[in-house]
A and B are shown apart, each in its own frame.
Chain A
């Protein structure tokens, strides 16, 4: 069911953990709050779950007001499932009993059916009689998901669900978590600081900083059309180079005139910082433009070079791994940018 937050604020002594946060996740969609630690994303989740009481604003689930305007629904009556960062499995119960924990209103047969269905869904049918401490981290995480989904909650919240897991199981698990949520038709909101997790699971992502929502968008647009400098910096890799707006679709830079739609219109003559993603800068030995290699990191299939442009600005570039250049070498580059993301020059006129 649809989740909506309207101007939700929560202050802790000295800091505003949430500052008038508004967002909406439509029924059946998977949203994500992405942000660095301390950005308020966990507080947002706890306000939705009912473990924190917002100081102001309203929280709605499927049209019912859960908090705000004098209403307060306690967490146990919200029908909102939650997957905790530490999984919070009940150590005294086996896997099946953990999943069945929220199902006590069902008749015994129906309960057993539902538990079997969910264990199948999260791929743990064979582990039904094991205890949490006998499971791997990834398995525990799937039990936590099954347990949260079992009572068919209006909404599932996932708090940094992969941060306690090894890197190599994360990606695969993220895909299976998404598959399970989609199969159940669940509406979900995930909180993470890891953009790869966000991209792998979410339909829409909101970037949170210092308790404020910077941008709420689909992943692709977040990467290619960030609307604030923080989002541009935080999501994906990239650097800024100085440029001057020439016209509606043209910006002049030291790498030549770049054509493309500017995310935000600016009058000719405006000085801008133009965002360059590593995939916008192509290594080309034939190109007349050259830049000096300041740093390189080998990533197997490719090199990522950190380049110093003649003006001193820095750009990143991917190159196939047989293009092996030493630090200090000058290499040819050319631009292949389709969309222009520019922000008014910091401190400039």
Chain B
């Protein structure tokens, strides 16, 4: 086979898979550029400054909070020894199961002026007591930062574990104390991983819709939603989406940069079992208190609150509608997981060899950009793109149908654009472990391409397929803005229910669906910790 035709197949598959994402981006760019100049001016004058400032404060603040918490906790559990370290090293990942919007409404419900905590404090210390208001920029930043620290924790811990012990030893041999070793050697060495984790946090913060809605804190995502639903101004929404998209591109570029360097500083896998610095007596208990405090605030207390509220409302709230919410959520998550899996396998198959060519690899990268694009932006793009498709259909083929707009297909389209990357990661990892010689061996034993996939690739991808399905499934269950903005009439899911209840301040009634979402979210976290344990035992 000559090289050009060997590249044509993979490239066309990859481009096909990249089409949804391309349609979304094209719709946003085209719509925004076609907007009236007057609208642009109006936006700049009344909306943009406030929203951009809020978004920036949010992103920077959340990265700072999550970065500090994640790095400190990772250093403690990876390189130090203190009471409860083994427990905290996996327990500190559990908050990953708690969506930011759940933590947000629990925080507002308990810490707002009339919440149980300030009420109790006032009863104890008197009515004049001043407490920092939770509904403030500081409050949002703190809450979302606490919700997102596990991303940094996970990456930093991996980096510290692989070269933590050796770094400490070499720093000590050069006369540095352990704390000097941390700041002068370990953190600089782990910088690419830390930067990668913080870039992820930045993208999540920019994408957040549910949590900032709870706080009534206006960012790009809420502004897009408002102009879409409140003002019915598609063009405003598209313009805001384009601006947010460029913010995201910046965060993405930062992440790429960090990842690029990470390749060169690849940590040595041959490291011995980590040698840990014992924190004696009081200092050890201080570490325990810190880790325990974060764990309690980020997971235990909100989980207890959710459980109590859910129990309180369950007797009269848990009825037939709930069965419908759950069924619809499971159906959507299942369909989206299967669709993402199918496309991820096609993409992974097309790009499994370096010889697939630059075009195919570039298309694959583009197809999986969605994880960085906020759901509100995607939703606006999906609705616009499908609307354009429908009107083109009516114009050329007649009829008055809305083929895609407002259907479950539109919703799935959005989910696939957003979560394809989540499925692609484990699938691509699986393909990269299938050596080329295995494929050649199967061919020399008489397998044609079709059978290669069913008899060789799919069986060998096994674990990757399970991981991909699980991750997409849980992400779709948690997903709020795309579902909210593109769902067909009546397709309320658990996340939509949470949004509606929190919008009305009905915290207790939001707890019931939240609890189901958190429970599902524990599954991938359990998988992750199980893998980490296994890797640690194998080392």
Seen from chain A, the residues whose Cβ lies within 8 Å of a Cβ on chain B are: 49-51, 53, 74-82, 84-86, 88-92, 101-102, 104, 144, 147-148, 151
Known: A53-B2, A90-B456, A91-B460. A84 touches B441 (CB 8 A): yes
In the complex, the chain B residue whose C-beta lies closest to that of A84 is B437
- 4 A-B pairs besides A51-B443, A53-B1 with CB distance below 8 A are A79-B446, A84-B441, A90-B442, A144-B441
Indicate if the CB atoms of B438 and A90 lie closer than 8 Å.
Answer: yes
In the complex, the chain B residue whose C-beta lies closest to that of A104 is B446
Q: Which of B1, B437, B462 has the most CB of A within 10 A?
A: B437
Indicate if the CB atoms of A76 and B448 lie closer than 8 Å.
Answer: yes
Indicate if the CB atoms of A80 and B444 lie closer than 8 Å.
Answer: yes
At the interface, yes or no: B440 with Cβ under 8 Å from chain A?
Answer: yes
B433-465, CB under 8 A of A: which get 1 and which 0? 001011011111111100000011001101000
Indicate if the CB atoms of A151 and B445 lie closer than 8 Å.
Answer: yes
Q: What would 22 A/B residue contacts be, using CB atoms closer than 8 Å?
A: A49-B440, A50-B443, A51-B440, A74-B443, A76-B443, A76-B444, A76-B447, A76-B448, A77-B446, A78-B444, A79-B446, A81-B445, A82-B444, A84-B440, A90-B441, A90-B442, A90-B460, A91-B460, A101-B445, A104-B446, A151-B445, A151-B446
In the complex, the chain A residue whose C-beta lies closest to that of B462 is A92
Known: A90-B456, A92-B460, A92-B462. A82 touches B448 (CB 8 A): no
> What's the minimum C-beta distance from B137 to chain A, rounded to whole angstroms?
53
Which residues from B are CB-within-8-Å of A78? 444
Indicate if the CB atoms of B437 and A88 lie closer than 8 Å.
Answer: yes
Q: What bracket does the count of chain B residues touching chain A fall in?
A: 10 to 19
In the complex, the chain B residue whose C-beta lies closest to that of A85 is B437
Which residues from A are CB-within-8-Å of B443? 50-51, 74-76
Which residues from B are CB-within-8-Å of A101? 442, 445, 455
> For the complex, what is the distance from the CA of A79 to the CA of B446, rounded to whole Å?
7
Which residues from B are CB-within-8-Å of A92? 459-460, 462
Which residues from B are CB-within-8-Å of A148? 444-445
Q: Which of B441, B459, B462 contacts A82 (CB 8 A)?
A: B441
Which residues from B are CB-within-8-Å of A147? 441, 445
Which residues from B are CB-within-8-Å of A82? 440-441, 444
Indicate if the CB atoms of B1 and A75 lie closer than 8 Å.
Answer: no
Which residues from B are CB-within-8-Å of A84? 437, 440-441
B169-208, CB under 8 A of A: which get 1 and which 0? 0000000000000000000000000000000000000000
> For the complex, what is the distance from the CA of A86 to the CA of B434, rounded to whole Å?
12
> What's the minimum C-beta distance from A244 to chain B, rounded to whole angstroms?
53
Known: A92-B460, A92-B462. A86 touches B437 (CB 8 A): yes
Which residues from A are CB-within-8-Å of B446? 76-77, 79, 102, 104, 151
In the complex, the chain B residue whose C-beta lies closest to that of A81 is B444
> What's the minimum C-beta distance from A341 to chain B, rounded to whole angstroms?
39
> For the complex, what is the distance from the CA of A76 to the CA of B437, rounded to whole Å?
14
> What's the minimum C-beta distance from B139 to chain A, rounded to whole angstroms?
52
Which residues from B are CB-within-8-Å of A77? 446
Indicate if the CB atoms of B435 and A88 lie closer than 8 Å.
Answer: yes
> For the complex, what is the distance from the CA of A184 to the CA of B458, rounded to whole Å?
33
Indicate if the CB atoms of A88 and B445 lie closer than 8 Å.
Answer: no
Which residues from B are CB-within-8-Å of A80? 444
> For the complex, what is the distance from the CA of A49 to the CA of B1, rounded to whole Å?
13
> What's the minimum C-beta distance from A117 to chain B, rounded to whole angstroms?
17
Q: Which of A88, A144, A151 contacts B440 (CB 8 A)?
A: A88
> What's the minimum C-beta distance from A91 to chain B, rounded to whole angstroms?
7
> What's the minimum C-beta distance from A17 to chain B, rounded to whole angstroms?
15
Which residues from A are CB-within-8-Å of B462? 92
In the complex, the chain B residue whose C-beta lies closest to that of A13 is B3
Indicate if the CB atoms of B444 and A75 lie closer than 8 Å.
Answer: yes
> For the complex, what is the distance from the CA of A250 to the CA of B448, rounded to whole Å?
62
In the complex, the chain A residue whose C-beta lies closest to that of B440 is A51
Q: Which of B2, B442, B443 has the most CB of A within 10 A?
A: B443
Which residues from A are CB-within-8-Å of B459? 92
B1-40, CB under 8 A of A: which get 1 and which 0? 1100000000000000000000000000000000000000
> For the complex, what is the distance from the CA of A104 to the CA of B447, rounded to whole Å?
10
> For the complex, what is the distance from the CA of A78 to the CA of B460, rounded to whole Å?
25
> What's the minimum C-beta distance from B110 to chain A, rounded to whole angstroms?
50
In the complex, the chain B residue whose C-beta lies closest to that of A159 is B437
> For the complex, what is the distance from the CA of A231 to the CA of B462, rounded to whole Å?
50
Which residues from A are CB-within-8-Å of B440? 49, 51, 75, 82, 84, 88
Which residues from B are CB-within-8-Å of A49? 440, 444
> What's the minimum C-beta distance from B343 to chain A, rounded to whole angstroms?
24
In the complex, the chain B residue whose C-beta lies closest to that of A51 is B440
The 9 closest A-B CB pairs, nearest first, are A102-B445, A88-B437, A88-B441, A82-B444, A75-B443, A84-B437, A76-B443, A92-B459, A88-B438
> For the complex, what is the distance from the CA of A104 to the CA of B445, rounded to whole Å?
10
Which residues from A are CB-within-8-Å of B438? 88, 90
In the complex, the chain A residue whose C-beta lies closest to that of B445 is A102
Indicate if the CB atoms of A86 and B2 lie closer than 8 Å.
Answer: no
> For the complex, what is the distance from the CA of A111 to the CA of B440, rounded to whole Å?
22
> For the complex, what is the distance from the CA of A84 to the CA of B459, rounded to whole Å?
21
> For the complex, what is the distance from the CA of A8 to the CA of B272, rounded to whole Å?
52
Which residues from B are CB-within-8-Å of A144? 441
> What's the minimum C-beta distance from B254 to chain A, rounded to whole angstroms?
36
> For the complex, what is the distance from the CA of A91 to the CA of B441, rounded to whole Å?
12
> For the complex, what is the distance from the CA of A147 to the CA of B442, rounded to whole Å?
10
Known: A76-B443, A101-B442. A86 touches B448 (CB 8 A): no
> For the complex, what is the distance from the CA of A151 to the CA of B441, rounded to whole Å?
13
In the complex, the chain A residue whose C-beta lies closest to that of B2 is A53
> For the complex, what is the distance from the CA of A49 to the CA of B459, rounded to whole Å?
25
> What's the minimum C-beta distance from A144 to chain B, rounded to whole angstroms?
8
> For the complex, what is the distance from the CA of A89 to the CA of B441, rounded to whole Å?
8
> For the complex, what is the distance from the CA of A147 to the CA of B444, rounded to whole Å?
10
Which residues from B are CB-within-8-Å of A88? 435, 437-438, 440-441
Which residues from A are CB-within-8-Å of B455? 101
> What's the minimum C-beta distance from A64 to chain B, rounded to whole angstroms?
16
In the complex, the chain B residue whose C-beta lies closest to that of A103 is B445
Which residues from B are CB-within-8-Å of A85? 437
> For the complex, what is the distance from the CA of A148 to the CA of B441, rounded to whole Å?
9
> What's the minimum C-beta distance from A317 to chain B, rounded to whole angstroms?
44
Q: Which of B438, B442, B446 has the most CB of A within 10 A?
A: B446
> For the complex, what is the distance from the CA of A41 to the CA of B11, rounded to whole Å?
31
In the complex, the chain B residue whose C-beta lies closest to that of A79 is B446
